[in-house]
C-alpha cells in the first residue's frame, strides 16, 4: 500500500463520519473523499455527489481520481456487489464480496450457515408463505421475534410478547410488505433473555481480530421499549465482557464464522459484526452484520490507538496475524438525536443549532442525517440526525459528558433516549459504595 493514500469512503451516516474521522488521524491519508457524505463529513472530506447504490458511478469516480483505497460503510452496496465491481477493475476496496455479505443480506442464509458450522444461536423457523407463518405463531406460546429475511435498515426485527403480536408482525412484514422485498421470507424465533452485546472484528479471509466490545441500544424508547431502530446510542468497552467470555466468543463464533466462509468458497474480508445475547447458557448470535455497526463504530473507533489505515492494509494483504490492536484505556459513550416520529414517518428540513463540530474538548458530534439548507445553515435530512459522543476515563464521565453535549444542541421536536449507559452508571456508583461489581 502506498505511503500516502487517496481514499474514498462510501456512505453518508454517522458511521461513515466516524470512519472519516479515524482515517483523518492517519498521516498516510493524502486526500479523503466521501460519497454521498453529509454536512458533518464535509468538514473532513471532499463530498462526492454520488449515491452509495450507484456502483458504476463510484467505480468510474475511483478510476478517474486514482483512488488508492475505498472503504465501504453501508450494507446495501456490499450486498449488491460493490466490492466485486471494484475488484473487477483492480481497485483496492475494503469490504466483503456479495457472496460473503449474505451473512447479513439474508437472515435465512445466516441461520443455515450457523447451523452448518455449529455457531450458537437460537432455534428458528423460516417461512416464505404467510399462511404457514401465521399458523406456526398461532400454535406458539411465549415471546417471539419475527425478522424480515432481507435488508431493512435495522428495522426489520419485531419483538413480540405473545402470539397475537407475532400474528400482527407476520402480517406487517409478509402481507403489508412494510419492508418491501426484504419481507418475502421471514424468520420466527424464540426471544432470548440476557444482555445484548456487539463485537466487531477485522477479518482478512483467514484471520480475525476482534475490536473492543460495545453495547448498543436498538429500541426507540427508554427501558428498551418501542420499535427497533437503527440504533439510539452506545458505549464501549462493555465492561461485562470478562476475558474468558471474550475468548469463548472468539473460539465459538468469530473464528468459526471466518473459517466457515472460507471453506464454503466465500472468504470474508472486511468487518464481521456479531450481535450477541449473553444468556445463562452462554453467548448466542442474534445476527451477523458485514460492516461497521452504527452507532457502535462511533464509540469504538475513538478508542482505537492503532492506525486504522494499517489495520485495513493488513486485512487486504491477508496479514491480520501481525500484532494485536492497541486501545485507549478510556470509555466512549454517546446518544443519538432523532427526528420526531422516527423510526416511522418523520419530517426533514428541521434547523439544527448549537455545538455540532466534529470534535470539541473530548466530545464528538458525528452527523447522521444532516445537510446544508438554501441559506447555508444546517438542517436535518434523515431519521437519525446527530450523535453526541464523549470520551472519558470513566463510564460515568463519558455518559455525563455526552448528555451535557446533547443539551447544547437545539433541534425542534428531536427525540432521544435518556437511559444510555444508565445501568452502568448505577453499577459504577454502587461499586464505589462497596455493594456491587459490574457484571
Task: Give me the torsion for CA of 297, 301, 304, 307, rounded to 10°.
Answer: 120
The answer to whether residue 326 sits within a structural domain is no
Are 199 and 93 members of one domain?
no
Pair 403, 340 in one domain: yes
Query: What is the CATH number for 20?
Result: 3.40.50.20
Query: Would you state the cell numbers that stand for residue 234, as one nine-digit string?
Result: 452506545
Q: Are residues 207 and 296 in the same domain?
A: yes
Show the domain range for 170. 127-184
The CATH number for 167's domain is 3.30.1490.20
Per-residue pLDDT at 47: 98
Last residue of a domain, one of 316, 346, 375: 316
Q: Is residue 268 part of a domain?
A: yes
Please tell me the total count of domains within the chain: 4
Same domain for 92 and 138? no
CB 96 within 8 A of CB 289: no
Does residue 323 form part of some domain? no
What confidence score (pLDDT) does residue 241 get? 57
Given a cut of 70, the residues of the chain with pLDDT beneath it are 1-3, 239-242, 423-439
What per-residue confidence (pLDDT) applies to 357?
Answer: 82
Based on the domain organization, do 296 and 346 belong to the same domain? no
Is 280 among the domain residues? yes
Q: Which of 269, 288, 316 is the last residue of a domain?
A: 316
Q: Same structural domain for residues 203 and 312?
A: yes
Q: What is the CATH number of the domain that holds 362?
A: 3.90.600.10
* 69 in the same domain as 14: yes
Shared domain check, 346 and 309: no
Domain boundary, last residue among 138, 163, 184: 184
CA distances from 294 to 232, 254, 432 (A): 9, 19, 32
Q: Is residue 111 part of a domain?
A: no
* Domain at 269, CATH number: 3.30.470.20
Judge whether 143 lies within some domain.
yes
Claim to verify: residue 213 and residue 291 sit in the same structural domain: yes
Task: Say if residue 202 is in the same domain as residue 301.
Answer: yes
**Claim to verify: residue 286 and residue 347 sit in the same structural domain:** no
Instruction: Determine, yes or no, domain membership for 209.
Output: yes
Do 359 and 282 lie in one domain? The reply is no
- 239, burial (CB in 10 Å: exposed 0-12, middle 13-18, buried 19+): middle
Strand partners, 200: 273
pLDDT of residue 424: 52
Does residue 179 sit within a domain?
A: yes
Amino acid at each position: 500500500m502506498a505511503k500516502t493514500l487517496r481514499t474514498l469512503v462510501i456512505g453518508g451516516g454517522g458511521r461513515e463520519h466516524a470512519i472519516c474521522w479515524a482515517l483523518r488521524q492517519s498521516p498516510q491519508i493524502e486526500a479523503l473523499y466521501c460519497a454521498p457524505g453529509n454536512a458533518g463529513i464535509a468538514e473532513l472530506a471532499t463530498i462526492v455527489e454520488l449515491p452509495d447504490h450507484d456502483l458504476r458511478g463510484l467505480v468510474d469516480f475511483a478510476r478517474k481520481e486514482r483512488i488508492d483505497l475505498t472503504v465501504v460503510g453501508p450494507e446495501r452496496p456490499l450486498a449488491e456487489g460493490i466490492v466485486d465491481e471494484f475488484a473487477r477493475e483492480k481497485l483496492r476496496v475494503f469490504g466483503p464480496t456479495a457472496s460473503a455479505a449474505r451473512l447479513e443480506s439474508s437472515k435465512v442464509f445466516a441461520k443455515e450457515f450457523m447451523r452448518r458450522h455449529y455457531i450458537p444461536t437460537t432455534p428458528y423457523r423460516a417461512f416464505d408463505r404467510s399462511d404457514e407463518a401465521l399458523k406456526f405463531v398461532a400454535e406458539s406460546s411465549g415471546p417471539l421475534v419475527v425478522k424480515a429475511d432481507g435488508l431493512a435498515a435495522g428495522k426489520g426485527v419485531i419483538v413480540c410478547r405473545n402470539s397475537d403480536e407475532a400474528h400482527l408482525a407476520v402480517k406487517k412484514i409478509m402481507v403489508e410488505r412494510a419492508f418491501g422485498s426484504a419481507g418475502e421470507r421471514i424468520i420466527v424465533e424464540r426471544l432470548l433473555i440476557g444482555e445484548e452485546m456487539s463485537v466487531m472484528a477485522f477479518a482478512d479471509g483467514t484471520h480475525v481480530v476482534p475490536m473492543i466490545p460495545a453495547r448498543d441500544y436498538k429500541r426507540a424508547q427508554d427501558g428498551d421499549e418501542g420499535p427497533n431502530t437503527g440504533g439510539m446510542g452506545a458505549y464501549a468497552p462493555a465492561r461485562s465482557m470478562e476475558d474468558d467470555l471474550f475468548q469463548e466468543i472468539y473460539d465459538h463464533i468469530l473464528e468459526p464464522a471466518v473459517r466457515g466462509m472460507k471453506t464454503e468458497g466465500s472468504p470474508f474480508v472486511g468487518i464481521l459484526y456479531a450481535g450477541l445475547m449473553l444468556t445463562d447458557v452462554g453467548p448466542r448470535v442474534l445476527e451477523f452484520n458485514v460492516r461497521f455497526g452504527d452507532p457502535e463504530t462511533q464509540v469504538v473507533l475513538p478508542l482505537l490507538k492503532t492506525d486504522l489505515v494499517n489495520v485495513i492494509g493488513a486485512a487486504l494483504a491477508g496479514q491480520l496475524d501481525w500484532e494485536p490492536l492497541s486501545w485507549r484505556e478510556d470509555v466512549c459513550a454517546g446518544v443519538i438525536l432523532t427526528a420526531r416520529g422516527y423510526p416511522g414517518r418523520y419530517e426533514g428540513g428541521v434547523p439544527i443549532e448549537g455545538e455540532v463540530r466534529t470534535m470539541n474538548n473530548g466530545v464528538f458530534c458525528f452527523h447522521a442525517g444532516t445537510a446544508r439548507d438554501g441559506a447555508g445553515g444546517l438542517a436535518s435530512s434523515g431519521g437519525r440526525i446527530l450523535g453526541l459522543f464523549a470520551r472519558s476515563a470513566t463510564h460515568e464521565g463519558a455518559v455525563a459528558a455526552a448528555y451535557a453535549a446533547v443539551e447544547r444542541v437545539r433541534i425542534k421536536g428531536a427525540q432521544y433516549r435518556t437511559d444510555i449507559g444508565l445501568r452502568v452508571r448505577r453499577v459504577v456508583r454502587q461499586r464505589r459504595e462497596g455493594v456491587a461489581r459490574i457484571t
